[in-house]
């Protein structure tokens, strides 16, 4: 005799278990789909903000100066604000950040940029370590001065009582350059040639127009222009306080009327002094370059010295 054992309930129980498991997995997937967006776009913590911004260098869209700055949700400053050179007021390294009542508060250190001939680049004076050869350009102990003068607190209204990270990002991008934007978008035109040397045109003209006269080159019958009025530049307050000195080299065109135009930076000095050099040279007057007794436009470089006595 052959015994056949049948368990009709076992198959039914198995099917029910599979259905239950699938239902639970579906519920879990739905729950995850709901939780993840909430985590990404929900209320943020101060730790979230620190993870995102601490240690980063941010570039202000306009180089506002002062120890405390406040901006509304559209990125407009409130109160009495002044601007300075981007080399002393344009960039901030974030040291701390928090949010309260919809207001984002950044605590940071301004970057004071100076030109280092050895590296042929702008460097932050606050990065100078003891014994750094570049310290010789400052006549005093620069580290203590940077630490005290460079502190800045910036408040940004988000427009929301409990802002999300998206709200914070929107407010930050209204005040600071967003990722992907270029530094040249936030600096005066006379800085662009040095920051982007490849943008220099191959065929230079006196005023950039299609019908403009091509610039003459000094020599081969073209005499150099001679300066006849050259007032000294103002010393930037930051440059003087930091006891920083050196030479800013500018590129410019002297027109047929002896007026300088299209002034650009050829080799910077930093610490706000290049801006003062450009302002001063814009007022200079020249006897123009001459060719066959006729004034002609030429390009020249001029050196503007800043010395503390």
pLDDT of residue 148: 87
pLDDT digits (tens, 9 = 90+) for 29-61: 444 444 444 444 567 899 999 999 999 999 999
pLDDT of residue 211: 39
| Chain mean pLDDT for the chain | 86
Domain span including residue 89: 46-112+150-184
Q: For position 213, which CATH number holds?
A: 3.30.2420.10
- For residue 135, tell me if it sits in a domain: no
pLDDT digits (tens, 9 = 90+) for 105-142: 999 999 999 999 999 999 999 999 888 999 999 987 88
Q: Give 11-17's long-range contacts (Cβ < 8 A, gap of 24+).
A: none
Q: What is the mean pLDDT of residues 252-277?
A: 96
- The total number of structural domains in the chain stands at 2
Task: Write down how long the chain is.
Answer: 309
Ramachandran quadrant class, 36 (left: phi over 0; alpha: psi -120 to 50; beta: rest): alpha
pLDDT of residue 308: 87
- What does the alpha-carbon distance between residue 158 and residue 174 come to, in Å, rounded to a whole number? 10
Same domain, 72 and 174: yes
By 3-state DSSP, what share of the chain in percent is helix, strand and coil, each rounded to 5? Answer: 30, 30, 35
Instruction: Please state the φ and ψ torsions of residue 268, each to the nearest 5 degrees.
Output: -80, 170
Same domain, 165 and 228: no
Same domain, 277 and 292: yes
**Backbone CA torsion sign across 169, 170, 173, 175:** negative
């Amino acid at each position: 005799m052959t015994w056949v054992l049948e368990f009709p309930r076992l198959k039914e129980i198995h099917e029910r278990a599979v259905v239950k498991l699938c239902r639970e997995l579906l519920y879990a997937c739905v729950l995850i789909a709901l939780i993840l967006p909430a985590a990404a776009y929900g209320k943020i913590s101060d730790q979230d903000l620190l993870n995102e911004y601490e240690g980063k260098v941010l570039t202000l869209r306009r180089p506002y100066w002062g120890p405390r700055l406040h901006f509304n949700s559209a990125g407009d400053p409130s109160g009495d604000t002044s601007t300075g050179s981007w080399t002393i007021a344009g960039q901030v390294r974030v040291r701390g950040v928090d949010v309260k009542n919809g207001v984002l508060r950044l605590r940071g250190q301004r970057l004071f940029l100076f030109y280092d001939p050895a590296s042929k680049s702008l460097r932050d004076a606050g990065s100078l370590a003891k014994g750094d050869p570049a310290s010789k350009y400052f006549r005093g102990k620069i580290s203590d001065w940077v630490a005290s003068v460079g502190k800045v607190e910036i408040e940004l209204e988000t427009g929301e009582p409990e802002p999300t990270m998206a709200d914070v990002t929107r407010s930050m991008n209204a005040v600071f350059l967003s990722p992907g934007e270029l530094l040249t978008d936030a600096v005066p035109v006379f800085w662009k040639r040095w920051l982007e040397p490849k943008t220099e045109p191959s065929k230079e003209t006196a005023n950039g127009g299609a019908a403009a006269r091509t610039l003459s080159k000094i020599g081969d019958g073209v005499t150099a222009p001679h300066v006849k009025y050259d007032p000294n530049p103002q010393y930037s307050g930051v440059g003087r306080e930091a006891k920083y000195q050196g030479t800013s080299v500018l590129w410019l065109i002297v027109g047929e009327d002896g007026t300088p135009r299209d002034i650009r930076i050829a080799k910077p000095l930093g610490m706000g002094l290049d801006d003062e050099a450009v302002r001063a040279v814009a007022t200079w007057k020249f006897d123009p370059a001459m060719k066959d007794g006729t004034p002609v436009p030429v390009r020249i470089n001029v050196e503007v010295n800043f010395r503390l006595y």
